[in-house]
Structure 1
Amino acid sequence: MLRRHLLTATGAGLLARPAFAQPAAARTLRYVPQTDLTVLDPVFTTAYITRHHALMIYDQLFGLDSQLRPQPQMVEAYEADGDGLTWRFRLREGLLFHDGEPVRGRDCIASIRRWAQRDALGQVMLSRVVEMTAPDDRSFVIRLSRPFGPMLDALAKIGPPALFIMPERIAAADANTRIQETIGSGPFRFVANERLVGSRVVYERNPAYRPRESGTVSWAAGPKRVHLDRVEWHVMPDPGTSAAAIRNGEVDWWENPPNDLVPVLRRARDVTLKRSSPLGTFGTGVFNCLHAPFDKPAVRRAVLRAMSQQDFMTAAAGVDPSLWNAEVGVFTPGSPLANAAGIEAITGPRDIERSKRELREAGYRGETIVMLAPSDQPVLMALAEVGRDLFVRLGMEVDYRVSDWGTLVQRRASREPPANGGWNFFHTTWNGLDGINPGVMQFLRANGAQAWFGWPTVPRLDALRQAWFDAPDLAAQRSAAEEIQRVVFEEAPYLPSGQYFANTAFRRSITEPISEVFAFWEVRRS
């Protein structure tokens, strides 16, 4: 089981307390992010810390609510023609960028086009776009060559890279080059001259921002009312320092305390813990489908039938079963497409001897498994330890390669045979939002050389994924999702290792934040 042993007593003075230059003001909130903000461009990276930053300063055309339904945000009204080939959108009145310029339809078009070049869901949408036009400053029109069912889901996408609206002159930049200006129309403004790399990021309230007048506040949807003048992100050297800071009242909100420190924080009188998101985080074991033995679906399937999600999740999140889910199929539990089709493949009785026979019958000939593991990612390392043990119990030879995450990321890009610098298997994790539909699930692509790392070729799966894009309604999408899950359990292009949950911590002196998207609107001093 994963343990960090960062605090071994309850005294607040065990670790050095961070020193801040000025006392907390009534309308200033101090926040401890998961890591430093190193990339400002929300299109250029899939890092969630950059997505959090972008939610502060940019706005979205549609906002995703807690039921994962797109709700109008910058958009005032919209309509689609009966054939689904023409979509018309009208913007709310009074939308202004931080430089004082109005938000225009052509800004939206440029932002959509740049985002779509780098996002998997956007790429499919863009492949069906005939033209995007702006009839006037407050309108834009998207015309398609064929219907695109998840149009609103794409425009409301919040998992990185999320779609944010920026000025046309900025959005016109090459999608593969980082933008240099951070000008949005959102509820906060980025204070660039107060940024200290590795230490502090500062935002101030945007006085010109006009929130929606209607709707219910829910995740990224509804009115974004700001009650703070200033938000400061303070990067801490380690979790123990963060724990001491929030217990002492030196910070107001800590994004992601590790589960090891949850008992310590629960004992703090003025600190509240809240589950970060009902969608949690889920894991995947990634097979390299180019090389033996995992080029054979039957070999992959034998491993899948032998695994225990409970073993993986206990290692990653601890023995408390309320912190994990060990019956996870393809789609994030709690999302509209989650289903039980074929789930017995991972929930049925485990039989290692049976699985050993299945491996031999599938064509496993004793090939060595080159398995990658990151020493600097504790959860992934815990998953890797369980995965290695599973392979060994199945009688497979394992060459266990432990390195830092950066080295692993470089090696996983290699398509060379494992003996020549390639690999056979590694573990990774995804935010729950990255598993809500086929359009955002990188690891579900099964089109060979164009697929994500592992490069599976499963024509049936790729066809079903395309069918989901063509589905006209939720019922048809769910039908496609069930077939997708059945094929995944048959072909085993990856190993679903379960879902676990984390907490966020905040002082009782502030109202409960919208931790599902780590938003700072609606937060106020209680």
Structure 2
Amino acid sequence: MLQTWGLVTRSHALHLDEENAAMSRSHQSRGMICSLFSGRAHWASAGHPRYPLVGLAAMCVVGLVAALVVAGEKAPRTGGTLKIAWVGEPPTLDIHKSTTTSTRRLAWHMFERLFTFDEQYNLIPELAEGYEVSSDGKTYTVRLRKGVLFHNGNELTAEDVIASLKRWMDNDPIPKNYLIPDLEALEATGPHAFEIRLKQPNGATIDFLASIAQGPVIYPKEVIEEAGKDQIKRFIGTGPYQFVEYLPDRHIRLKRFDRYSARSEAANGYGGKRAAYLDELIFYPVADVAVRAAGVEAGDFDVAIEVSTDDYDRFANHPLVDPVIAGPAAYVVFVPNKKSPTMGNVKIRQALLAAIDVEPLMKVAFGDQRFYRLDCSILMKETAWWSQAGCELYNQKNVQKAKQLLQEAGYDGTPIRWITTQVYQQMYKTSVAVKSQLEAAGFKIDLQVLDWATLSKKRYEADFYDVFVTYFTYRPSPVLFYTVLAKTWAGFWDNPKKDELIVQTLRATDQKRQFELWSQLQRLIYEDVPFVRTGDFFDLHLKRKEVKNLTNKPEVFFWNVWIEP
């Protein structure tokens, strides 16, 4: 029997006793399996011969649910408009076309995937009802929920899913590089079922379908056809909120989709029942972090996303505003352009890595230690993929080594065009702080500040920059990390050994072997330096006290949120 799933996340291991109790109360009749790539539960038909029920460690989460109302809280209330101070203008609302956080965190209120993640980052169905895998691991049959409606009133069918997945595969580097080569056919087998047929087993197939960044959201087939190779022209999905209007530099307005087909399970992480309690969501692009915070305090906004952590003490005991610490959210990265004449030289990239002292950067950007931590692992401590491979090269703060590497590389003082943004203060502050560190090691840094939408586009222009700044959000598995490792992603890391290790990881069926391969890939990242990792950080959001049930998870969302007068 082909083994494709098995690892358990660290966070899951800490909650086994709680989950055992929940499972004894559960009325779920489905069987489930655990993802080797994520330690997350995958739902399949009960009694499927390929997935016998095994011991507790392999059972993952079945009965654990996230309660909407905490003890003593009033029942959710329907109605009202939530005014959200958003982090700048999203470059697009077409998730297939963008990896940016501002796009997906806004647009996933309109668009949904086949699978998503529960409270412990186990995979659970979203638009899917379940799936089966053939005994040879080459055929996945995915069943869709019936009666799910798009915002135009048409029912979701397998034809919509096929069209959406094909378009996603054409745009997202993850499936383009690591799924399409194995794909034999993608076909509807009925109005509410389709098959993924592979040339050879790929244990991450379902993980791909739950990807968050540039994820495989489902659009109507006709919307995809009218868009062609361009961005979609009509924002029609199946989510709890539907598109109303987009006025650039003013706001994006969504309203409740009254015919939304919510799941029956209790809310659980990013999945389960999604209730649209609010009449409207209005996202205001507010690039200035201080204006976002002041707007919530004044009552102009109900929620402000990603305000300065320096504001925490001011709002900790505020009579009208609650601070929300969310995360671990992400870590800031400095991404060299491997096609540039300077940063294409690996010794110059290694000098960049050697010179950096991470702690001062984190203090400048986040101040309070409640909002950051140092860690070398590419995937965070909360995952099953936390590794120490290559960690001797993290946070070296070795100026002399950096100078020696620059000398060996023949660096002639050519200015390094370093593009950053003030829209995300953590990116700007770390850029300013690291500039002095790098110049002390012999670099000459030309710091250029762009708005986020411009930076998001310009980072794909190889002749425009040498280093750009972004952050990598929390990813519970390597599969969800592969986008930023693809040679077509900004920074352009083209390394045959990297590609070989990723393929080997996808093919491996032994859990220990998979972790070894991922650790080898992490070491290669530190040696070849496609990016430089800083420290993990936690976001600070603000909400008016009347706003209830705002998540503290890494990815923010506003379904299951209500306003209590």
Q: Give me the whole-angstrom Cα distance separating, in 1, the residues matched to 2:220 and 2:342.
A: 50
Q: Taking every aligned residue pair, what percent have the same amino acid on both sides?
A: 22
Secondary structure at 1:503 match in 2: strand
- Indicate the residue corresponding to 2:313 in structure 1: 263
Instruction: Return the offset for 1:87.
Output: 0.4
Preserved contact between residue 326 and residue 538 of structure 2 (Cα < 8 Å): yes
Name the amino acid aligned to 1:398: K
Preserved contact between residue 283 and residue 429 of structure 1 (Cα < 8 Å): yes
Name the amino acid aligned to 1:263: D
Residue 73 in structure 1 maps to residue 132 in structure 2? no
Instruction: Return the offset for 1:488.
Output: 1.9
Instruction: Return the offset for 1:326.
Output: 2.1
Q: Give me the whole-angstrom Cα distance separating, in 1, the residues matched to 2:462 and 2:362.
A: 29
- Among 270, 287, 291, the alignment partner of 2:336 is 287
Instruction: Return the offset for 1:484.
Output: 0.8
Preserved contact between residue 38 and residue 197 of structure 1 (Cα < 8 Å): no
Q: For residues 82 and 372 of structure 1, do their structure 2 counterparts lie closer, same or farther at Cα, with a shift above 3 Å needed? A: same
Preserved contact between residue 204 and residue 229 of structure 1 (Cα < 8 Å): yes
Q: For residues 270 and 143 of structure 1, do their structure 2 counterparts lie closer, same or farther at Cα, with a shift above 3 Å needed? A: same
127-136 vs 198-207, greater mean Cα deviation = 198-207
Preserved contact between residue 348 and residue 411 of structure 2 (Cα < 8 Å): no
Instruction: Return the offset for 1:272.
Output: 1.4
Secondary structure at 1:52 match in 2: helix
Q: Give me the whole-angstrom Cα distance separating, in 2, the residues matched to 1:219 and 1:498.
A: 25
Preserved contact between residue 117 and residue 175 of structure 1 (Cα < 8 Å): no
Q: Give me the whole-angstrom Cα distance separating, in 2, the residues matched to 1:515 and 1:325.
A: 17
Q: For residues 439 and 218 of structure 1, do their structure 2 counterparts lie closer, same or farther at Cα, with a shift above 3 Å needed? A: same
Instruction: Return the offset for 1:286.
Output: 2.5
- Indicate the residue corresponding to 1:120 in structure 2: 173
Q: Give me the whole-angstrom Cα distance separating, in 1, the residues matched to 2:128 and 2:547.
A: 31
Q: Give me the whole-angstrom Cα distance separating, in 2, the residues matched to 1:142 and 1:51.
A: 25
Name the amino acid aligned to 1:257: V
- Indicate the residue corresponding to 2:198 in structure 1: 144
- Indicate the residue corresponding to 1:326 in structure 2: 374
4+ aligned runs moved over 6 Å, structure 1: 406-411
- Indicate the residue corresponding to 2:185 in structure 1: 131
Q: Give me the whole-angstrom Cα distance separating, in 2, the residues matched to 1:483 and 1:258.
A: 36
Instruction: Return the offset for 1:164.
Output: 1.3
Q: How many residues align?
A: 484
- Among 348, 365, 388, the alignment partner of 1:340 is 388
Q: Give me the whole-angstrom Cα distance separating, in 2, the residues matched to 1:308 and 1:140.
A: 51
Q: For residues 472 and 272 of structure 1, do their structure 2 counterparts lie closer, same or farther at Cα, with a shift above 3 Å needed? A: farther
- Among 248, 251, 275, the alignment partner of 1:200 is 251
Instruction: Return the offset for 1:476.
Output: 4.2
431-440 vs 119-128, greater mean Cα deviation = 431-440
Preserved contact between residue 115 and residue 209 of structure 2 (Cα < 8 Å): yes
The TM-score normalised by the length of structure 1 is: 0.82
- Indicate the residue corresponding to 2:140 in structure 1: 87
Instruction: Return the offset for 1:475.
Output: 4.5
Secondary structure at 2:95 match in 1: coil
The TM-score normalised by the length of structure 2 is: 0.77
Preserved contact between residue 241 and residue 254 of structure 2 (Cα < 8 Å): yes
Q: For residues 286 and 172 of structure 1, do their structure 2 counterparts lie closer, same or farther at Cα, with a shift above 3 Å needed? A: same
384-393 vs 267-276, greater mean Cα deviation = 384-393
Q: For residues 32 and 457 of structure 1, do their structure 2 counterparts lie closer, same or farther at Cα, with a shift above 3 Å needed? A: closer
Instruction: Return the offset for 1:269.
Output: 1.4
Instruction: Return the offset for 1:251.
Output: 3.0
Preserved contact between residue 64 and residue 158 of structure 1 (Cα < 8 Å): no
Name the amino acid aligned to 1:204: K
Aligned CA-pair RMSD: 3.0
Q: Give me the whole-angstrom Cα distance separating, in 2, the residues matched to 1:213 and 1:55.
A: 19
Preserved contact between residue 416 and residue 445 of structure 2 (Cα < 8 Å): yes
Name the amino acid aligned to 2:196: I
337-346 vs 257-266, greater mean Cα deviation = 257-266
Secondary structure at 1:46 match in 2: coil
Q: Give me the whole-angstrom Cα distance separating, in 2, the residues matched to 1:200 and 1:290.
A: 37
- Among 427, 438, 453, the alignment partner of 1:380 is 427
- Counterpart mapping for 1:29-428 below 5 A: 29-36=82-89, 39-123=92-176, 124-159=178-213, 161-174=214-227, 176-192=229-245, 195-214=246-265, 216-236=266-286, 238-278=288-328, 280-290=329-339, 294-318=343-367, 320-347=368-395, 350-357=397-404, 359-360=406-407, 362-364=408-410, 366-374=412-420, 376-377=422-423, 378-394=425-441, 396-405=442-451, 413=460, 415=462, 423=465, 425-428=466-469
Q: Give me the whole-angstrom Cα distance separating, in 2, the residues matched to 1:323 and 1:117.
A: 37
Preserved contact between residue 97 and residue 167 of structure 1 (Cα < 8 Å): yes
- Counterpart mapping for 1:468-483 below 5 A: 468-472=505-509, 475-483=512-520
Residue 430 in structure 1 maps to residue 471 in structure 2? yes
Q: Give me the whole-angstrom Cα distance separating, in 2, the residues matched to 1:409 and 1:524.
A: 32
Q: For residues 407 and 179 of structure 1, do their structure 2 counterparts lie closer, same or farther at Cα, with a shift above 3 Å needed? A: closer
- Indicate the residue corresponding to 1:4 in structure 2: none
- Among 476, 481, 487, the alignment partner of 1:440 is 481
Secondary structure at 2:258 match in 1: coil
Q: Deviations over 1:404-447 (max 9, x none)?
A: 3577667755556xxxxx65x424122414684255344433xx
Name the amino acid aligned to 1:203: L
Q: Give me the whole-angstrom Cα distance separating, in 1, the residues matched to 2:288 and 2:300.
A: 15
Name the amino acid aligned to 2:522: Q
Q: For residues 435 and 226 of structure 1, do their structure 2 counterparts lie closer, same or farther at Cα, with a shift above 3 Å needed? A: closer
Preserved contact between residue 356 and residue 395 of structure 2 (Cα < 8 Å): no
- Indicate the residue corresponding to 2:495 in structure 1: 458
Structure 2: give runs of 5+ residues left out of the alignment. 1-76
Instruction: Return the offset for 1:79.
Output: 0.7
